Amino acid sequence: MNEVVALEPDTLRYEYTRDLVNTHHNVTVLNETTGDYISRHPETHFDLVILGMVVQHLPTYITTAIMDDILSLTKTGGLAVVSTTHALEKARCFSYQNIAQGQPRPRISEDEFNRYAADTQSQDKGLPVRRFSRSEFESIVPSGFEIISWGQYSYCRPEYLDYFAWLDGVAPHELADVGNSQYLVLKRR
């Protein structure tokens, strides 16, 4: 890569990332949102834009705006890779990150999720988590993108299958071929 620009609006994560890559002279880490960056650099577009495991933690009313920002930041003919959670269609839901198995399943309403996700200073139940089905994920893609590829993956170990089945409210065998994360490769039209 000739140039890498990383955006991180959370101050602690920004500082960590900046310090992690400070010896790479072609990498710039900025403490700002995509909207802030676009307003300061309206003519800047990239060959590749990556949004990794972000949209599931944002209030739903911000999801469309950030996906529009990703479109705006991608050059015509360029690619964007977006990843998020993955759940079976019947298991898509809103929840909190830090709920122990054995307690009531952590499903909350979209309104409660949005209030909690918007108040980043008071998230005492861990990160807010939106669990996207494939169709729901594909539905947030702006029309200026063509979906090139969809895939799923898991970063959890098999011994956690029962936990994810409990979280999704399904039998463990229903998750045998289902990753708990998914990605889309998008091409800017």
Residue 1 lies in a domain: no
Q: Compute CA distances 162 → 86, 100, 157, whole Å.
A: 16, 13, 11
Which CATH number goes with the domain that contains 140?
3.40.50
Could you tell me which residue, 174 or 27, shows the higher pLDDT?
Answer: 27
Is 25 among the domain residues? Answer: no
The 3-state DSSP composition of the chain as helix, strand, coil percent (nearest 5) reads: 35, 30, 35
Q: Is 9 among the domain residues? A: no
- Nearest one of 88, 70, 84 to 128, comparing CA atoms: 84
The predicted pLDDT at position 120 comes to 86
91 neighbors 134 (Cβ within 8 angstroms)? no
User: What pLDDT was estimated at residue 121?
Assistant: 84
Phi and psi (nearest 5°) for 9? -75, -25
Query: Is 47 a domain residue?
Result: yes
Q: Is residue 142 part of a domain?
A: yes
- 134 contacts 86 by C-beta, under 8 angstroms: yes
Q: What would the mean pLDDT of 104-122 be, rounded to a whole number?
A: 89
Residue 155 lies in a domain: yes
For residue 155, the model assigns a pLDDT of 65
> 129 in a domain, yes or no?
yes
> What pTM was estimated for this model as a whole?
0.91
Residues of the domain holding 112:
33-188
Q: What confidence category does residue 21 fall into, taking pLDDT thresholds of 50, 70 and 90?
A: very high
For the chain, give the mean pLDDT: 92
pLDDT at position 145 is 98
Report the percent of the chain where pLDDT is more than 70. Answer: 95
Per the structure, the count of domains in the chain is 1
Does residue 178 register a pLDDT over 90?
A: no
How high is the pLDDT of residue 104? Answer: 63
pLDDT of residue 60: 97
17 is a domain residue: no
3-state secondary structure of 170: coil
DSSP string, 76-91: EEEEEEEEEE---GGG
